[in-house]
């Protein structure tokens, strides 16, 4: 039988890795977008359609990808983290 404290530490480490990976991806996404705003304004102003520029489309994509990262974390937590935590709680 495995040590419950060690198993809980491994589970907490896994949660930290998943959270850090997704947080890093979202931070890189946001900073990349901000850098584009700072250094590629003419490109961001390019019209894709009437009333829609590259900047607006990328801004919306940043928001959608942030929601997607949240969805990925919640799905992982519901399927893996919560189930593993419940197994550790049972005697």
Q: Which residues contact 2 (CB under 8 A, 6 or more apart)?
A: none
Query: Is it the case that residue 73 has pLDDT exceeding 70?
Result: yes
Position 68 scores a pLDDT of 98
**Residue 4 — pLDDT band, cuts 50, 70, 90?**
confident
Position 46 scores a pLDDT of 97
**Residue 3 — pLDDT band, cuts 50, 70, 90?**
confident
């Amino acid at each position: 039988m495995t040590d419950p404290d060690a198993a809980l530490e491994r589970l907490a480490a896994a949660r930290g890795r998943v959270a850090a990976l997704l947080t890093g991806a979202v931070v890189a996404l946001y900073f990349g977008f901000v850098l584009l705003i700072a250094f590629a304004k003419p490109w961001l102003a390019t019209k894709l359609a009437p009333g829609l520029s590259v900047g607006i489309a990328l801004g919306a994509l940043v928001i959608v990808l942030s929601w997607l990262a949240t969805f990925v974390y919640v799905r992982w937590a519901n399927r893996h983290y919560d189930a593993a935590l419940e197994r550790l709680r049972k005697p």
